């Protein structure tokens, strides 16, 4: 009976499809279960073929039909198990276990005459007749097939993109395959032609194959797709070779076989690659499929990575390579800076804020550092199934939601010594295909190369910045040396001027006393002038030594809890006589709520003495006013000491250089030409050492001056 050929061809094809899917990825449960589905169908079709072949031998035909059922009893459970894995219906595992249990029971019942017995022979074939246990099996078969379609349909409704397309083709393929169930109508003495049942398995397999190629079902479409192109190319070349042989016999019969055969072989070899490229482009256009050798991509990228040292250029190269090679709609690269924050280095398609939002929470980066591999959005549901900790599940759910919101599909870590230095976030493929195993391999290898290159680029950037910084610092040091040299010149000039004046006075006064030209009260007056000049000389030397110590160094402070009111009162008392001699008043507005504060008493005294001394020196009428108050800035407290006078004032030009060494205001130089220009510089440095600041205010010439000292308000040792 020739009808045995149809199921035999189907059995062979399903067997090889089962082997191919299984060996492509043995560890993937979806591949394993689907290969078992194909194998079960292959057993059924092969047993049917043998039954048709031996229809004249009743006992042998019955034997082969029972062999059919070895595959058939597992088909509903395997299909249902496939739907559970594909749809992620975790709660249905108990039904899967029950299905396998029942399938094994039916397996042991197959030899029983209560399952099938006798043989119904009809025009196109034969079949054993169904008995009671077969009726029960049919109920089991119908329930599990219904559950299979229910899961696939639910997955189709809830999914989108490639997953939705996969569900559609699985539903269609198995719906066609279900027509194979018509082959069991003869078990109930209903004759049917094989053309309505057995070819359905082949058609269903072709639909599944299309889903594999077009929609990345079970992650083997790359191999199938590329293999298909090679097969097409091979047959085209073979056909072309036969055409050339035909043309040779028709138009060049006199040409020897050796010459013609050699020419045909050469032409075939030369044409194979162009023909392959043509079908490759055809597949890319009509199947949205991108073929590439990731080894070639890595080799080419590796060469470029060694030639680029600029961080921005390198980031752009990596992102552009990914986008162009894998045909992506968006990609962004983020690198961690010295403070641990992530910065966008190159972005195509993403909103910059969206890229940063994924790493704002450390969960993603910690997860990637822990797993040391890319995270694919589609795989998060599988990770959730294996996660028992509630907190981690919630974070994974949020991460999945965030990735979906910004349309991120893959998060690729950039690692150096197992520590994350950045990551690359990828969007969808333009074709809407999922990322294949080949894609993941490409990304892992690329991330290894990119991580090293980016780390080197960051190091190069540091060296470059250090070089610039060093150059800047050298220039600053040269400038500083020049300033010091100029300061030294100015210092010598000031010292010469300041020391020469009092020493000249002392010398001239002593000369007069030695000559004995003056007598009586005049001697006392001369001695007073000599004393004052010596005192002035002492102050100048003290200022010079203090200024020298403060240049480039900080004095060591001796902090203690001080009564600021007592310090100010003591200083005022020292200057009260000199103020009275000029007809000036000194007023201290005391703050009775002021507590003890942590200060260096001796230094604060020196600061106040210089400010009050200057205020009296450069004020002709009016007075000097001192007050203290506590202020609050940025939730911190500070204490202020304010020294205000009604003197000569300060111009805006003089304000800018008032606290610099050897610097004095123009009006001050007119009134007191012998000043050193060191007093306010010393005050400024002392206050800075106290972690404070000093400011000057004046409305202009002859409108008085106000010095404001602000110090940290510290009341505990």
Please return the burial class of 414, using the count of CB atoms within 10 Å of its CB with bins 0-12, 13-18 and 19+: buried
> Tokens 């059922």 appear where?
69
Cβ-based burial of 514 (10 A; exposed 0-12, middle 13-18, buried ≥19): exposed
- Topology (CATH level 3) of domain 294-464: Beta-Lactamase (3.30.450)
C-beta of residue 588 within 8 angstroms of C-beta of residue 627: yes
Report how far residue 321's alpha carbon sits from residue 302's, in angstroms, rounded to the nearest whole number: 11
- Quickly list H helices, 618-702: 652-655, 666-671, 679-689
What was the pLDDT predicted at 146? Answer: 92
419: β partners: 416
Tokens for 546? 């203090």
The vertex-52 CA angle with 49 and 56, nearest 5°, equals 145
Note the CATH number of domain 2-219. 1.20.1070.10
What span, in angstroms and rounded, lies between the C-alpha atoms of 330 and 314? Answer: 17
> H helices within 54-119, ranges in order?
58-72, 75-87, 93-109
pLDDT of residue 367: 84
Domain 560-712 is found in CATH 3.30.565.10: yes
Using CA atoms in the order 579, 581, 584, 586, what is the torsion angle rounded to 10 degrees? 30
What's the pLDDT score for residue 385? 64
- Contact call for residues 70 and 47 (beta carbons, < 8 A): yes
For residue 84, give the nearest of 22, 24, 33 by alpha carbon: 33
| Runs of H (alpha helix) within 159-287 | 161-177, 198-215, 221-251, 257-286
Residue 343's DSSP bridge partners are: 335
> What span, in angstroms and rounded, lies between the C-alpha atoms of 144 and 137?
11
Using alpha carbons, list the distances in angstroms from residue 65 to 120, 286, 538: 11, 43, 125
> What is the DSSP secondary-structure string of 403-429?
HHHTT--EEEEEEETTEEEEEEEE--B
**Residue 562: helix, strand or coil by DSSP?**
strand
Count of other CB atoms within 10 angstroms of residue 48: 31
- Token pair, residue 227, equals 């293999």
8 A C-beta contact, residue 425 and residue 410: yes
Q: Is it true that 294-464 and 560-712 share their CATH fold?
A: no
Around 100, how many Cα atoms within 13 Å sit in the side-chain half-sphere? 9
So what's the pLDDT on residue 404? 83
Q: Are 371 and 382 in contact (CB under 8 A)?
A: no
Domain ranges of the chain: 2-219, 226-286, 294-464, 560-712
CA angle, residues 207, 212, 213, in degrees to nearest 5? 100
Residues near 439 by Cβ (< 8 Å), separated by ≥ 6?
Answer: 326
Is beta strand 636-645 parallel, antiparallel or unpaired with respect to 116-122? unpaired
Q: What is the mean pLDDT of each run of 10 residues along the chain (717 residues)?
A: 71 80 68 86 86 84 88 91 83 88 92 87 79 90 91 80 70 78 72 66 68 51 52 74 78 74 78 75 55 63 76 84 82 84 84 72 81 82 73 85 84 86 85 71 80 79 75 76 66 60 71 72 74 67 68 76 90 88 89 84 89 88 91 86 91 79 68 68 86 89 90 78
pLDDT at 223: 43
In Å, how far from its chain's centre is CA 589?
59
């Amino acid at each position: 009976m020739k009808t045995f050929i149809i199921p035999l061809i189907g059995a062979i094809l399903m067997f090889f499809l089962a082997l191919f899917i299984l060996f492509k990825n043995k560890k993937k449960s979806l591949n394993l279960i689907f290969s078992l589905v194909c194998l079960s169908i292959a057993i059924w079709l092969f047993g049917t073929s043998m039954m048709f072949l031996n229809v004249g031998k009743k006992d042998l035909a019955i034997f082969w039909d029972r062999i059919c059922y070895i595959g058939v009893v597992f088909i509903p459970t395997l299909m249902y198990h496939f739907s559970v894995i594909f749809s992620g219906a975790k709660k249905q595992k108990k039904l899967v276990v029950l299905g396998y249990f029942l399938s094994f029971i039916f397996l042991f019942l197959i030899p029983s005459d209560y399952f099938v017995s006798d043989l119904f022979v009809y025009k196109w074939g034969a079949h054993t007749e169904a008995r009671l246990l077969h009726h029960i099996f049919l109920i089991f078969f119908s329930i599990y097939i219904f559950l299979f379609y229910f899961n696939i349909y639910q997955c189709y409704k809830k999914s989108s993109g490639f997953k939705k397309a996969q569900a559609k083709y699985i539903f269609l393929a198995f719906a066609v395959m279900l027509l194979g169930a018509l082959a069991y109508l003869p078990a109930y003495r209903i004759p049917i032609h094989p053309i309505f049942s057995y070819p359905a398995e082949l058609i269903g397999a072709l639909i599944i194959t299309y889903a594999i190629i077009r929609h990345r079902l079970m992650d083997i479409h790359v191999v199938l797709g590329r293999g298909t192109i090679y097969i097409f190319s091979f047959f085209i070349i073979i056909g072309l070779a036969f055409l050339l042989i035909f043309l040779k016999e028709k138009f060049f019969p006199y040409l020897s076989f050796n010459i013609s055969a050699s020419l045909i072989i050469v032409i075939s070899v030369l044409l194979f690659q162009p023909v392959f490229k043509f079908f490759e482009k055809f597949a890319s256009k009509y199947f949205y499929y991108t073929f590439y050798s990731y080894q070639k991509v890595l080799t080419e990228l590796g060469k470029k990575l060694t030639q680029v040292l600029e961080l921005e250029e390198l980031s752009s190269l990596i992102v552009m390579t990914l986008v162009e090679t894998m045909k992506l709609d968006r990609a962004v690269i983020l690198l961690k800076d010295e403070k641990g924050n992530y910065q966008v280095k190159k972005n195509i398609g993403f909103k910059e804020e969206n890229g940063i939002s994924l790493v704002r929470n450390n969960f993603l980066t910690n997860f990637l550092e822990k797993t040391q591999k890319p995270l694919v959005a589609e795989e998060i549901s599988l990770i959730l199934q294996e996660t028992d900790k509630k907190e981690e599940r919630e974070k994974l759910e949020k991460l999945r939601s965030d990735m979906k919101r910004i349309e991120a599909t893959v998060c690729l870590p950039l690692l150096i010594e197992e520590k994350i230095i950045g990551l690359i976030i990828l969007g969808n493929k333009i074709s809407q295909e999922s990322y294949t195993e080949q894609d993941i391999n490409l990304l892992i290898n690329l991330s290894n190369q990119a991580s090293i290159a980016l780390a080197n680029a960051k190091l190069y950037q540091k060296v470059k910045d250090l070089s610039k910084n060093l150059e800047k610092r050298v220039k600053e040091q040269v400038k500083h040396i020049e300033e010091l040299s100029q300061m030294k010149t100015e210092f010598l000039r000031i010292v010469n001027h300041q020391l020469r004046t009092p020493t000249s006075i002392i010398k001239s006064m002593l000369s007069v006393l030695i000559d004995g030209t003056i007598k009586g009260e005049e001697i006392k007056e001369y001695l007073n002038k000599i004393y004052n000049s010596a005192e002035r000389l002492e102050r100048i030397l003290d200022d010079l030594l203090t200024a020298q110590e403060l240049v480039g160094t900080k004095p060591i402070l001796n902090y203690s809890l001080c009564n600021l009111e007592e310090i100010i009162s003591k200083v005022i008392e020292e200057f009260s006589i000199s103020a009275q001699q000029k007809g000036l008043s000194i007023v201290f507005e005391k703050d009775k709520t002021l507590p003890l504060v942590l200060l260096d008493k001796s230094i604060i005294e020196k600061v106040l003495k210089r400010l009050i001394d200057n205020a009296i020196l450069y004020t002709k009428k009016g007075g000097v006013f001192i007050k203290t108050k506590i202020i609050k800035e940025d939730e911190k407290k500070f204490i202020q000491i304010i020294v205000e006078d009604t003197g000569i004032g300060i111009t805006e030009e003089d304000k800018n250089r008032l606290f610099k060494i050897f610097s004095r205001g123009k009006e001050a130089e007119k009134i007191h030409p012998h000043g050193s220009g060191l007093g306010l510089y010393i005050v400024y440095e002392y206050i800075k050492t106290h972690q404070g600041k000093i400011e000057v205010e004046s409305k202009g010439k002859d409108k008085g001056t106000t010095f404001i000292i602000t110090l940290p308000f510290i009341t505990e040792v």
